[in-house]
Amino acid sequence: MESNVKRGGALSAADLALYNGHAATMSESREGDYGAVHDVVVLVRDGRVEWIGEAAAAPEGAVSSATDTVDLEGGWVTPGLIDCHTHLVFGGTRAAEWEQRLGGASYEEIARAGGGILSTVRATRSAPLEDLVGGARRRLEHMIDFGTTTIEIKSGYGLDLATELRMLEAARMLSDSGITVSTTLLGAHALAPEFVEDRAGYVDLVCNEMIPNVAERGLADAVDAFCEGIGFTSEECERVLRVGGDHGLAGRLHADQLSDLDGAALAARMGARSADHLEYTSESGARAMGEAGCAAVLLPGAFYFLGETRKPPVDAFRAHGAPLVVATDANPGSSPTTQPRIALNQACVLFGLTPAEALAGMTRLAAPVLGFTDRGKIEVGLRADLACWRIENPAELSYWMGGSPAQAVFSAGRRLR
């Protein structure tokens, strides 16, 4: 809704004014799928939206007196994109394994032969902190170019205490980019090579050493686990989530990607903010998620890159009211992309989301997955995380396969691009 300031009313100079375009506010309080405001003016002060509405109703002189202005040139402004599932900090690449898969080897076969996640573990363990930060920063800069203003980064390529801590430290250091960086401990990503004969010992390491150390140092906001045949059992993941919760970490879960281990229902039962991947989720799992308000984070990049054929049960999630969220899953093995607009396109083409659902899934609905209530929409009082686009219709954000970078990007009203 517009602020209470009337046209011609007193309003001191704004820090930022956007004008001569349209806004996809993604606010439920406005009509239409995008909560659109045409011929919009957006005024920002102290990092938050101070006023939004049609230009005809804008406070007189508000645009001309603003410290900084953006002429949208007939384009659109949206909330800054929120990528709530990435593995952006890592060493090396897995291009050689991709060639193997093209030759017929499956993801699981490569993983069981010591490749997959473990090959990235070896490269990450050997990488010094500055190399991890430098590589991740290059990837992050590209994501900012394409409108990302909030990102989650997981650990999980260390599988020992020292490297997991180093990964999370590297992720935290990326906050100097100007965007919000949320971090997640994914120690239960794969069984560490030193523990191949001692699964219980490794889960003890995650629960008794990694989680307490990370929590004490304030290096993570959440804990995650890979509930899968090549990962960890439901019982092991439940323990990880429970111990994480005991240490003040929110719960996330990689669930039902390659098989149905009832991970979706586990995430719902444990009060996790989301279950992610979900290709093999059952109807009962979708129902449990909807009843618990657990978000369904769809990762179409991994589905595409791994050549999967079983799609997440999107209709079931819709029917049971589980929020449909979209993320890039940026990682070196199964989703090597730093382009959020590709994920939006894939969510529509591969999973059947509408363009409005896809955009909501990377803005309004993604924010709660990371525990944020101050972003994801363009509303008075909310954080001014904004992305400006040279498009004629917001559906173009998912229509073009990749598309062009944003015209301008703002994080809490600060211009990044």
The Cα 166–Cα 279 span in angstroms is: 31
The structure tokens listed for 310 are: 């079983």
Tens of pLDDT, residue by residue over 101-133, are 889 988 778 877 878 888 899 999 999 999 999
Say if CB 108 and CB 143 are below 8 A apart.
Answer: no
Nearest partner of 184 among 236, 117, 240, 129, judged by Cα: 240
Given a cut of 80, is residue 245 above it in pLDDT? Answer: yes
Burial of 103 per CB tally in 10 Å (0-12, 13-18, 19+): exposed
Helix (H, G, I), strand (E, B) or coil at 196: coil
**What Å distances lie between residue 182 and 83, 118, 219, 221, 411, CA to CA?**
10, 24, 9, 6, 14
> What value does the mean pLDDT of the chain take?
95
Q: What's the pLDDT tens digit per position in 84-105?
A: 999 999 999 999 888 888 899 8
Residue 68 β-bridge partners:
16
Give the Cβ contact number of residue 345 at 10 Å.
21
Residue 7 pLDDT > 60: no
Q: Which helix (H) or strand (E) holds 186?
A: strand 180-188
- Dist. CA 230–CA 359, nearest whole Å: 32
Spatial CA neighbour of 408 closest among 44, 59, 36: 44
Summarize pLDDT for 153-183 with one digit per residue, the tens: 999 999 999 999 999 999 999 999 999 999 9
Q: Are 299 and 254 in contact (CB under 8 A)?
A: no
- Residues 298 and 257: their CA atoms lie apart, in Å, by 10
Domains of the chain: 16-79+377-415 (2.30.40.10), 82-370 (3.20.20.140)
Please check the confidence at residue 366 and state whether its pLDDT lies above 90. Answer: yes
The enclosing H or E element of 357 equals helix 355-361
Contact 365, 394 (CB under 8 A): no
